[in-house]
Amino acid sequence: MYRENFSIQNDVVNLPVLFTKISGVLGSRGDYVNYIATLVNAPDTLFISKTPYLPVRITTESKSILKKLGKEFMDFINPNPFIKEGKLQFDNIKSSRSYRYKFLRNDMQDYLLRKIQELLDRDIIKGSAQDADKILDILLGLNTDLLKTIQKFDFTQNNPKIVYLQFTGIPTSYEDSVFLAFISLVGFDVVIFCPSGYQGPEAYYQDNILQIHEIGDYDYDMKIPKGIYWGFKKFVAK
C-alpha cells in the first residue's frame, strides 16, 4: 500500500512531503518541548538540535578570488566540469575521485543527482544560477550515515523525518538552508521549530517551498532543556 498521494507519472515520482516552519510558542514551554520530543521519538527521525548542521564551506571572499582566476584557468584545473550550461554532468561527477556517493546503488545515485538538478532548475535558492557550483559542493558532501539512511528507506511507504531546532538568534546558515530544501525534495518531512520567530532558511529561498505557520507568542529566551535528549532515537545529530 503506497502512502497517500504518492504517484508516478511519466517516469517522474511524486512524493508528498511536509516542509514547514513553526514560529512562536503555543501554550507553556513545557508543552512546547514535550510536543517536540514526541516528534523526535517517532521512528526514522533525524533530530538536529545544534546548528549549523553542515560545515560552513567556501567564503564569499574565496569565492570571488576563484571567479577572478577566470574560466580558462578553471577549465584547465577541471577539464571535466560537473556543471555545464546549468546541467549536471552525471558521468563527470560519478567518475571524479572526490565523488563520495559511489557506495550507493546506481539508481539512488541518479535519484539524488536528479534532485540536485531539480533544486537548480526550480531556482529555489536565491542566486542558484551564479552559485550552482557551491550548491553542488554542499550537496555532494553529505555524511555517510545520512546517505545510508536515505538508501534504506522505501519512500513509497513511510518517509523519513527531520526535526530542526532554530533556538538561537544566529541566522540559519546558507549550507543548512540548501540542505533542508534539498532533503525535502528527496522525500523527507522537515519541521523547523523557531520559538523566536526570527527569519531562518527562508531568507535564502525565492520559492514558496517552505510553509511558515505562526502558532503563538514569540519566546526569545527559550533554551533546550538537557533532559530533552533522553530517550531519543539513535539517529540524532547534536
> What is the predicted pLDDT for the residue at 199?
94
> What is the predicted pLDDT for the residue at 143?
87
> What is the predicted pLDDT for the residue at 65?
41
Indicate the pairing of strand 161-165 with strand 189-194: parallel
> What is the predicted pLDDT for the residue at 131?
92
Spatial distance between the Cα atoms of 70 and 179, rounded to a whole number of angstroms: 28
Contact 141, 100 (CB under 8 A): yes
pTM beyond 0.75, yes or no:
yes
- 74 to each of 18, 66, 91, how far by Cα in Å? 39, 8, 19
Ranges of the chain whose pLDDT falls below 50: 1-10, 12-13, 59-74, 76, 230-238
> What is the predicted pLDDT for the residue at 72?
47
Contact 161, 44 (CB under 8 A): yes
